[in-house]
């Protein structure tokens, strides 16, 4: 039976990227040595590092005054690395979920933090609106997509101060005007690769302004290096995850780039949300105007609450993998990231329809 992967992360990857990775484990770049065994100073690997950064620049049209870095530690490490590099006195945070809340907590070690708005009052089921961004802060931090709660900020906002965004789970799913951000970062394992590498896109003029001595590995300037061949190479980089990222970005480019990816993602999300709204057994949990294109969250309708476990078993038997909702929300969550094929979304919709026909 075909399995349909809706895991929230690590997530489904393009089959082409997986096959390339398998081949590279056997023999990387015709060297006769597998990618898990090569030196990161192998000429072929230095080429992959440059190509991966170039693909990021091409796909997101990243301006020349931004640096693209590949680091370890996940987005959670960036929660403290960002304020270490950028927070002099005060920062502002938009609290739209548990990861945004954790990011704000880490920033408090470096200065004052103002929570400009929060949707915690309704289990983060909406994106706050009508708030005022303070102008006396070093930066304003947002989390663009909230994997647990299925909400998303769909547009690049105009911000009066430096805008910093955690885009772990929606990067490359839609066009982004990078010039509106001082920094964008995220873990790869939601949309652009496996766990183990974090992408950082940072405007270089923001660095070196804080009045504190930074640990070598925490300072972004360390990873920028003195020349391009040393970028993200201060210590051994996560070679294999970066290679899979490289192959994933090639796949996005082959599909037609981010614009084409956005069209595909909107169609997949519309297909699933339309079924949730039509089907009498299910109810979406996120405010409709803030529904995520990446993480679709839903629960059983009140009168069918007793059918939740039965639907989970029904879906599992039909090949659905990873649709159990996060414990803080309950119900179900289908993560339909870039590499999730439309075929899988169609299979889930069919599964929901069949369950309704048998139980409603």
Pairing of strands 66-71, 4-5: unpaired
Q: Please, which residues have CB within 8 angstroms of residue 111's CB and are 6 or more apart in sequence?
A: 83, 87, 88, 89, 90, 91, 138
- Helix-strand-coil split of the chain, %, nearest 5: 40, 15, 40
Q: Tell me how far apart the alpha carbons of residues 206 and 197 are, in angstroms, rounded to a whole number.
A: 23
- Angle 21-22-24 from CA coordinates, rounded to 5°: 60
112 forms beta bridges with 90
Question: What is the DSSP-derived secondary structure letter of residue 215?
Answer: P
Token pair belonging to 11: 């997530």
Helices (H), the chain: 15-26, 43-60, 74-86, 98-107, 220-224, 239-255, 257-278, 308-317, 342-359
**Which residues does the annotation mark as catalytic?**
99, 166, 190
Token pair belonging to 20: 């390339």
In terms of phi and psi (left: phi > 0; alpha: psi -120 to 50; beta: otherwise), the region of 150 is: left
Q: Please, which residues have CB within 8 angstroms of residue 243's CB and are 6 or more apart in sequence?
A: 21, 24, 28, 35, 48
Quick one: 122 exposed, middle or buried, by C-beta within 10 A (0-12, 13-18, 19+)? exposed
């Amino acid at each position: 039976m075909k399995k349909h992967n809706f895991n929230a992360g690590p997530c489904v990857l393009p089959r082409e990227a997986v096959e390339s990775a398998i081949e590279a484990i056997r023999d990387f770049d015709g060297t006769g040595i597998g990618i898990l065994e090569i030196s990161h100073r192998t000429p072929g690997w230095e080429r992959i590092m440059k190509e991966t950064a170039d693909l990021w620049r091409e796909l997101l049209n990243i301006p020349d005054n931004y640096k693209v870095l590949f680091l370890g530690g996940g987005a959670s490490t960036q929660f403290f690395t960002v304020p270490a590099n950028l927070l002099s006195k005060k920062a502002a945070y938009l609290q739209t979920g548990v990861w945004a809340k954790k990011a704000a907590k880490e920033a408090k070690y470096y200065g004052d933090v103002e929570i400009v708005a929060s949707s915690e009052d309704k289990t983060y089921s909406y994106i706050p609106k009508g708030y005022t961004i303070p102008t006396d802060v070093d930066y304003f931090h947002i989390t663009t997509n909230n994997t647990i709660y299925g909400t998303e900020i769909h547009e690049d906002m105009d911000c009066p101060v430096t805008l910093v965004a955690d885009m772990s789970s929606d990067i490359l799913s839609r066009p982004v005007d990078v010039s509106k951000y001082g920094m964008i970062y995220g873990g790869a394992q939601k949309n652009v690769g496996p766990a183990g590498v974090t992408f950082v896109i940072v405007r270089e003029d923001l660095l070196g302004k804080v009045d504190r001595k930074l640990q070598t590995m925490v300072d972004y300037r360390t990873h920028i290096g003195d020349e391009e061949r040393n970028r993200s190479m201060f210590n051994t980089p996560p070679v294999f995850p970066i290679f899979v990222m490289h192959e994933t970005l090639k796949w996005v480019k082959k599909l037609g780039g981010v614009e084409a990816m956005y069209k595909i993602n909107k169609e997949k999300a519309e297909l699933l949300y339309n079924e949730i709204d039509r089907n009498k057994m299910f109810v979406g949990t996120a405010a409709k105007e803030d529904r995520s294109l990446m993480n679709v969250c839903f629960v059983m309708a009140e009168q069918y609450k007793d059918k939740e476990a039965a639907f989970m078993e029904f879906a599992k038997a039909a090949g659905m993998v990873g649709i159990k909702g996060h414990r803080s929300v309950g119900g179900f969550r289908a993560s339909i990231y870039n590499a999730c094929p439309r075929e899988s979304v169609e299979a889930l919709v069919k599964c929901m329809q069949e369950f309704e026909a048998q139980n409603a």
